[in-house]
Amino acid sequence: MLGPQRAQLRLSSDHNAAPYLSTDTIINEGERPGQSHRAVSPGRGDVTPPPHPCMIFHVETRNKAKLMDGRTLAKRVRQAAAAKVEKIRKATGVTPTLATVLVGDDPSSATYVRMKRKRCEEAGMKSLRVELPHGTTTEALVAEIEKLAADTSVHGILVQHPVPKPIDRRAAFEMIPLEKDVDGVTSATLGRVVLGMPAFISCTPAGIMQLLAEYNVELDGAHAVVIGRSPILGRPMASMLINAHATVTLCHSRTRSLPNIMRHADVVIAAVGRPRFVQGGWIKLGAVVIDAGYNEGNIGDVDFDAAIEPASLITPVPGGVGPMTIATLINQTADAAAMQLGVEV
């Protein structure tokens, strides 16, 4: 199916220059990434030059990517979570509860926690706030998590990261019980993701997989390149793509010949934590580009303005991956509460 396209005859101010035909291609909702397009005139089929034998036409094609709207999909996910919460409350009289643990006074972390609490309450869940001062020790943080783990009224535990140094983040994460690990940060969860077993998966890669499914991105046999090796993003992302039968190359900021590797990727997941790290010239024509980065100034890890030209689909920053991360957290908390309370949702 051909996408709607605009054809415009442009005449140069230079009278000796030939006119040229410029076509801007727009990708249809139902088309798959990488599908070829040909220039057409609205309602007329193929573009043909005017009947002047001496005119020479140059066809200039600009193929801009379609944006992957994370906000709209995230809203649907949150609505589904709210329906689960209502069903749980009616069946048990219990309101699902997410405990958010914030250590220190980092402004960005505080903002993220407020956003998560707001979405939690919008879905009808309770948000239990645990705020610890800067200078909190690993032992003190672990003790707080142990209390939450033993509290049957708490169904999900989120430790906002990064935590201030010198706290041992991994030691803190490992105190979260598997059934309450709604942010997917424990080693037990990662192991289950690698093996394709049921688990509350790290929220960002889980949200990305939902976005890829929403836009009908074919992963079976595709070459996916993941840039970033974090245990809560890059590594589970690579495992989920492998489980979806993609061929995966896991890279990072020190990978040699990274641009050459990228040019063969059908799907790109950028999660390296460096603003505009991925250049437009690295993107294969028709590739799907997922920007999981968020840097100061609402800048992602991909040079968006350059990558939008060769890509077929691309996530904006903000409005792409971010909303899906929070929506996934809310939905997984509702599922965790249902499992712990024995409610079928």
Q: Known catalytic residues?
A: 116, 160, 183
Q: Are 324 and 210 in contact (CB under 8 A)?
A: yes
Contacts of 121 (CB under 8 A, 6+ apart): 127
Q: What are the two backbone dihedrals, phi and then psi, of residue 328, each rounded to the nearest 5 degrees? A: -65, -40
ω into residue 231 within 30 of 0, thus cis?
no
Order of strands, edge to edge, in the sheet holding 5-10?
Answer: 5-10, 20-25, 59-63
C-beta separation of 292 from 314 below 8 A = no
Q: How far apart are the C-alpha atoms of 269 and 260, rounded to whole Å?
A: 15
Whole-angstrom distance, CA of residue 141 vs CA of residue 167: 8
